[in-house]
Chains A and B, each alone.
Chain A
C-alpha cells in the first residue's frame, strides 16, 4: 500500500472523495487512469483549486487537494482561510515537500511557516506524519473527520518499527519510559533523527524519551504537560520557523495551564535554511542525530 493506492481505495469506498491537484502529480501519477472524473487537475492554479474544492464540498463532496506545501498554504492562503475556513468545509489539503523536504529548491519552496499559518485558521486541523507508514495509518481518520485538515505529506521510509501501530487524532506517540530526565518533542520526518539522538543520549547515560506529536492541531495537551512536569529538560525539535510552530504551541499550552519548566527550541530562528540535498541540509542546520544529541546536551548544561 502506498499513498496512491490509499487514494484509490478511499475513492472506491466513499463517493464523497474527490482528488485534486494544482499540477502536482508526484504522489498520484497513476490515479487519473483509475478514477476518471474523481480526479481533477486544475493546472498551476492553487487559488482556483481551493475555491473549487470548497464548491465541491458545498455539494457534499470531500476533496483531497495537492500542491507543494509553500504554494498551497501561501499562494492560496486567503482562499483557504476565507472559503474553506469560514465555511468549515471538509477539504483536506496535502502539502508536498514541506520543511526540510524541499531540500535544494531554495527559499521560494521552503514551507517553514505552514504549521503556524494553517493552525491559525479556526476549524483547521494539522497532521504532520513522521513517515509513509504513519501517513497511511493516520490519513483514514484525518479524512473521515468532517473538519478541514492540513497534511504535511511525507512518504519517507518508516522512522521506527511499530509492531502495534495505532493512531488517534490529537494523541502523541511516545518512545521510551513514562518519565525521563530529558523529553524531546518533535513531528514529521525529523522523528528518525530525533530517535537517533535519543540513542546517543541514552548511551551517554542521559535518560531520554521522545514524543512524536503527529497532529499539531488538535495537540496532545496532556502529553506536553506531563513531559514538562516530569522532565528536567524538554526540547522541541522542528523544521519550521521558531515563530508559530511546536515551540509556540508548547509555550501557549504551558501558559494556559499555569505550568512552567525548562523548555528549549531547536527551530529555524528568523532564517531560511541553506538549500542543498536533504542530508547536507540536516548537517548544515545541525539536525543530524549526533548534532541534535550535542545540542540537547548543551541545553542540559545551560
Chain B
C-alpha cells in the first residue's frame, strides 16, 4: 500500500470522479448531491487506506469496503474507472439493460462488495465479515460507508451494540456527514448531534474530520487504531453537492436528472466557471 500522500494526484482523481458523476446525472439521472459529498472520501479510502482491488477479491486477507449508503454509487464507479477497474465506456450504459450500472450497487460490477440501496443493512453484513476475519486470525480491515441520514435506521444502532459486544475492532464505520436526509436537513428533521458522543456511548472509538481535506483524512485514517479492542468510527464532515455551487446544500437537488446542456454547463462550473442556471425539473424522490 502506498502511504505517501500525493495531493495533486488525489485532487486530480477526485476531480475526474466528479466529472463522471456529473456525466451520469442525465438521461434518467442519479443521486448527484449524495455522490459528490463522498467522492473525496471514496477516492482517499481506495487510494491510501484500503488494501483491495478486484483482482484480489478471492484473497481472504484483503480489506473490504461496503457502501451501505448505496445511492452514492456513481462516486464508487467513477473511482473504479480512475483505478482502471471499470471501463469508462460502461458508464455510458448507465440505466440501460445491457449492463448493471443502475442507481444502486450490485455485485455484477467487479469491485462492488455487496448489494445495497436499502439503508441500514451493510453494517450488519460487514459485521459478519469482520467476525469471520477475526475468527480466522486475520489482520484486515472492514470499512462501511454510511450516510448520516442512514443513522436514523434502528438496525444501525443494533449493529453498534453488537459490534461492541463482540469487540469487532477490525470494523471501521465511515459516516458521510453531509447534513442531509433525502430532502431535509438532518438537524431539522431527526437531530443526530452529538454523533461522536452517541458512538462513544455505544462503546466505539470516534473521531471527526473534514471529509474533503485529503491531508486531514490521511492524518485521521493513519491514526485509526484498528485491532485495539474497540470498533472504530470516522465521522467525515462533508457538503452535499460539493464542487458544484449551483446544487450544493440544496435540499431539492438530491436526485438530479439534468439536460445535456446543463451537464455541459455544470462541467464548466466544476472547472470554476459561473454557477449554472438550472431549469431541469426538480425531483423529490421521498
Point out residues on A near B: beta carbons under 8 Å.
Answer: 37, 40, 42-43, 45, 47-61, 63, 78-79, 82-83, 86-87
Interface positions of B from 164 to 200, Cβ below 8 Å from A: 165-166
Residues of chain A contacted by B155 (CB below 8 angstroms): 47-48, 51, 79
Q: Taking the nearest CB of chain A, how far is it from the CB of B151, in angstroms?
A: 15
Residues of chain A contacted by B125 (CB below 8 angstroms): 51-52, 54-55, 58, 83
Closest 10 CB pairs of A and B: A55-B128, A51-B124, A52-B128, A59-B132, A56-B128, A55-B125, A45-B158, A55-B129, A48-B158, A48-B124
A-B residue pairs in contact (CB < 8 Å), sample of 12: A40-B166, A49-B124, A52-B124, A52-B162, A55-B127, A58-B128, A59-B60, A59-B128, A60-B132, A79-B121, A83-B114, A87-B107
Interface positions of B from 106 to 158, Cβ below 8 Å from A: 107, 113-115, 118, 120-133, 135, 154-155, 158
Contact (Cβ within 8 A) B123 A59: no
- Which of A37, A50, A52, A78 is the most central at the interface, judged by chain B CB atoms within 10 Å of its CB? A52
Residues of chain B contacted by A82 (CB below 8 angstroms): 115, 118, 121
B29 lies within 8 A of chain A by Cβ: no
Q: With A43-B165, A48-B155, A51-B155 known to touch, is A57 a contact of B124 (CB < 8 Å)?
A: no
Residues of chain B contacted by A54 (CB below 8 angstroms): 114, 124-125, 128
Contact (Cβ within 8 A) A57 B165: no
Interface positions of B from 49 to 75, Cβ below 8 Å from A: 60
Q: Taking the nearest CB of chain A, how far is it from the CB of B111, in angstroms?
A: 14
Residues of chain A contacted by B130 (CB below 8 angstroms): 55
Q: With A59-B133, A78-B118, A87-B115 known to touch, is A47 a contact of B158 (CB < 8 Å)?
A: yes
Assembled-state Cα–Cα distance A43/B163 (Å): 11
B159 lies within 8 A of chain A by Cβ: yes
- Please report whether the interface of chain B is mostly helix, strand, loop or mixed according to DSSP: helix
Q: Taking the nearest CB of chain B, how far is it from the CB of A57, in angstroms?
A: 7
Assembled-state Cα–Cα distance A240/B15 (Å): 57
- Which of B60, B130, B131, B159 is the most central at the interface, judged by chain A CB atoms within 10 Å of its CB? B131
Contact (Cβ within 8 A) B129 A58: yes
| Among candidates B115, B132, B166, residue contacting A61 with C-beta atoms closer than 8 Å | B132
Assembled-state Cα–Cα distance A134/B246 (Å): 66
Residues of chain A contacted by B122 (CB below 8 angstroms): 51
